[in-house]
Amino acid sequence: MFGTPTLLILGYSYSETLWIVLPASLSISLAQIYGQHQLVESKRNVFALTLPSAAAGTLIIFQLEGLTDVSKIVGAFLLIMGLLRSSSVLKNNLDLLITKHPKAIFLSTGLIHGLSNMGGGLLSFLMASIHKNKLNIRTNIAFVYCCFCFLQLILLSLFKAEQFNLYCLVFPAFSLLIFLLLNRFLMDLINENEFQHAISLIIIIYGAASLIG
């Protein structure tokens, strides 16, 4: 959520940013679904709708690199997501839309993720509306993230292979180590409501910074 806009603000291109954040995201997502794969559902919609639209969005943004400021696109989606998280009215309307048109949301999630790597926010709302158990929600989000990462890494290898570097191998190991050492400790320590409010505020700040920067 925050790695992509941070690197874009620092001057990295979108494809360079993906090479850095995707392997790290993949390692953490695999750790989250390890031993919980039986909880994964909605595979048909993910493979039929979400992944094809994510591939289309990724290829479109590859073509637009250098012609448009991708950080502005990322910032716009961040602001929208921050407002959705902060407004109960907007959140309820989105829940209603998900209930009435779930396939459209699966499709939109993939397209947004391909265009900005910011599909995780909408994905969280989608999975929270489908599943009520926190473990099921987290596992299904992690599964879709794994699919996103594998897909986009394949596209990077095909179209942006020259931007691969050793950081792509170092960051996943470092990220996984931090996750394994601190995840449980932080989950027990942090107040859930305060954490969600803080995340929403940070999302809005990052969105504004991406649009202004």
pLDDT of residue 137: 87
Question: What is the number of structural domains in the chain?
Answer: 1
Closest CA to 110 of 42, 159, 12: 42
Helix axes 70-86, 51-64, angle to 10 degrees: 140
Strands annotated E in 113-162? none
Other beta carbons within 10 Å of 169: 10
Note the Cα 189 to chain centre separation in Å.
24
CA–CA separation, 12 and 47 (whole Å): 30
Phi, psi of 27 (to 5 degrees): -65, -40
Per-residue pLDDT of the chain (213 residues; tens, 9 = 90+): 778 888 888 888 899 899 988 988 888 888 888 878 788 887 889 999 999 999 999 999 999 887 788 888 888 989 888 888 888 888 888 889 998 999 999 999 999 999 999 988 888 888 888 887 888 888 899 999 999 999 999 999 999 988 887 777 777 777 777 766 766 666 666 666 776 777 788 888 888 888 886
Give the domain extent around 207.
3-212
CA–CA separation, 163 and 65 (whole Å): 14
CA–CA separation, 96 and 117 (whole Å): 24
Q: 80: number of CA atoms within 13 Å, CB side?
A: 15
CA–CA separation, 148 and 142 (whole Å): 10
What's the predicted TM-score (pTM) here?
Answer: 0.87
- The Cα angle at residue 109 between residues 100 and 135, in degrees rounded to 5: 85
pLDDT of residue 173: 74
Closest CA to 36 of 101, 123, 133: 133
pLDDT of residue 186: 63
Reduce the DSSP state of residue 68 to 3 states and report it: strand
The model's pLDDT over 85-141, given as tens digits with 9 standing for 90+, comes to 888 888 888 889 998 999 999 999 999 999 999 988 888 888 888 887 888 888 899
Residue 113 corresponds to which tokens in the numbers above? 């993720």
CA–CA separation, 109 and 121 (whole Å): 9
CA–CA separation, 78 and 202 (whole Å): 10
pLDDT of residue 188: 64
- Which residues is 68 bridged to in the sheet? 65
